[in-house]
Amino acid sequence: VQLQASGGGLVQDGDSLRLSCVASGRAIRSYDMGWFRQAPGKEREFVAISTWRDRTYYAQFMKDRFTISRDNVANTVFLQMNSLKPEDTAVYYCAQRDIPRSSGVVTTREEYDYWGQGTLVTVSS
């Protein structure tokens, strides 16, 4: 399994970005997919999850600014980020669990088995 994240860049406070994560090696339709982020000097933290049932769940700090979605035909997961703030500056990683058709919502990074290389999002004030 390989995950390729893209879409990051330098934007200004209040701007939007759409991140993409293309998976190869197996279909994502049966697997939970997540987005995490890691700011300089901080731990990697959960951002959002799209379960294999296409349910979504977000970290509290998202406050309706971010939207995760998936396209199982294209084997791709997206993260639409609106109203970006300087504190959103981080490397954003997509990840996939190795358990097919799992139950529940898993937000801990240790439960994810495959990771993309990350894409840097920088929000200037």
CA separation for the pair 17, 14 (Å, rounded): 10
| Three-class SS state of 60 | helix
Which residues is 49 bridged to in the sheet? Answer: 34, 57
Sign of torsion, CA 19 23 27 28?
negative
CA separation for the pair 28, 67 (Å, rounded): 18
What does the pLDDT read at residue 113?
Answer: 95
Closest CA to 28 of 59, 47, 54: 54
pLDDT band at 104 (very low <50, low <70, confident <90, very high): confident
**Sheet with 17-24, side-by-side order of all strands:** 2-6, 17-24, 76-81, 66-71
Is the CB of residue 29 less than 8 Å from the CB of residue 23? no
pLDDT of 117 strictly over 90:
yes
CA separation for the pair 64, 79 (Å, rounded): 12
pLDDT in tens, 41-70: 999 999 999 999 999 999 998 869 999 999
What does the pLDDT read at residue 61?
Answer: 82
Amino acid letter, residue 112: Y
pLDDT in tens, 2-24: 999 999 999 999 999 999 999 99
Tokens 């860049």 -> residue: 9
Q: What is the mean pLDDT of residues 82-94?
A: 97
